[in-house]
Amino acid sequence: MLKILSKLINVSALLALLLSVLLVNNAQAMSIPETQLQQTLAKYRGKVVYLDFWASWCGPCRKSFPWMNEMQQKYRDQSFVVISVNLDADKALAKEFLLENPANFLVIYDPKGDIAQQFNIQGMPSSLLIDKQGEIQQAHTGFFTNKVKLYEAQLIALLAIK
């Protein structure tokens, strides 16, 4: 009986060690931008999130920024938040863009495109509308001024869900 108990303890210790190694490796596998986004999304759980992917060379991105600022301002007290992910390899280009197109929302810099790859982003800008439970409900590629009423209606619909 003592031998069996000793073997079980050894097996349990080995499993615990393997689990801790797997957890450490998984944490190391995530890039800093991915970790920052994960922590930010966790912080805003219970809110509707508009997650936008952009780059300084993107023409339609220049049109989307005023709209995102407006939505952030208009719905922030109703549990809505905009988070953007910049994909420029050179952060200076993003900063120059932001001087001309200010962001009244969080900007996460992802120069290697790890987050975009995680979400399989195919074009610029791209946006994901995430519900209060953290589930993606809408995805848009491009930003079209003739669709801003649709975009706003989609976020209003998610805000209405308790």
Pairing of strands 80-86, 106-109: parallel
Amino acid, res. 21: V
Instruction: Kindly report the number of other CB atoms within 10 A of residue 41's CB atom.
Output: 16
Q: HSE, CB side, 13 Å, CA atoms: give it for residue 62.
A: 8
Residue tagged 């219970």 (tokens): 46
> Residue 61 catalytic?
yes
Q: Which of 61, 81, 83, 87 is an active site residue?
A: 61
Instruction: Reduce the DSSP state of residue 86 to 3 states and report it.
Output: strand
Give first-to-last CA distance, the chain, whole Å. 55
Q: Is 57 labeled as catalytic in the residue annotation?
A: no
For residue 54, what are the β-bridge partners? Answer: 86
Check 48, 49, 58, 81 and give the catalytic one: 58
Of residues 70, 67, 76, 84, the one with CA closest to residue 47:
76
From 112, 110, 14, 135, select the one nearest 53 (Cα to Cα).
110
Catalytic positions, please? 58, 61
